[in-house]
Amino acid sequence: MKISEQLREKIEEQIATGELPPGSALDEAMLVERYGVSRTPIREALLLLSAEGLIDIRPRRGALVKSPSPIRLIEMFEVMGEVEAMCGRLAARRMDAAERQGLVEAHGACEAARAAADSDAYFYGNERFHMAIYSGSHNGFLQEEAMSLHRRLRPYRRLQLRVRGRLDVSFSEHAAVVQAILAGDGDAAAVALRDHIVVQGERFADLVASLEALK
């Protein structure tokens, strides 16, 4: 992983947990001193965060943290659920044999991380799993939209996986998605993905509690 991507992940988590609340200034010189790197990876990391919608970069004025409210998060996860459902429906119809095998392998990587109780490894396997479905939709525009929203929700999806018991639940939800896609059942794949993504009820309360606990 590039230095800029490592920096992005560190700052992402600080934003998601409230360590860097909305309105916080991200000064390049301060970040250079804090992380002991040159300005180039700092600037690259800030551009990545800006693309995710987590910060605003203002010409000659630096960057400021943006962070969605709980209501905004619910709205974003609702839309993500519908987008992923559409990807799953199309992937079930359009994935070729190699793509289906790639999905199974990504599911296997998640299984290994779950067995090791390694939420970070599961997070990366989870990204690979979802990206395989986006690609398998064979709809370039839909894939771009899915990836854009996925990036914006990335730090919050990562925090979700740290909630007690979430790895086991996520893995079982993935299993239902894989089963539906391999069976070519687009409707079942759409339902399974929507239920997997949408954050509501106890799951949303757990996410908010995890944000508060990490502040």
pLDDT in tens, 156-182: 788 778 778 889 999 999 999 999 999
d(CA 128, CA 118): 16
In this prediction, residue 204 has a pLDDT band, given cuts at 50, 70 and 90, of low
Phi-psi category of residue 107: left, alpha or beta, with phi > 0 → left and psi -120 to 50 → alpha: alpha
In the chain, CATH 1.10.10.10 sits at: 3-65
pLDDT in tens, 21-80: 778 889 888 899 988 999 999 999 999 998 878 888 887 778 998 867 777 888 888 999
In the chain, CATH 1.20.120.530 sits at: 70-213
CATH of 3-65, one of 3.40.50.2300, 1.10.30.50, 2.60.40.1220, 1.10.10.10: 1.10.10.10
Q: Which fold has domain 70-213?
A: Four Helix Bundle (Hemerythrin (Met), subunit A) (1.20.120)
d(CA 177, CA 192): 6
Write down the pLDDT at residue 161. Answer: 83
Residues β-bridged to residue 63: 26, 57
Return the residue matching tokens 């990036």: 151
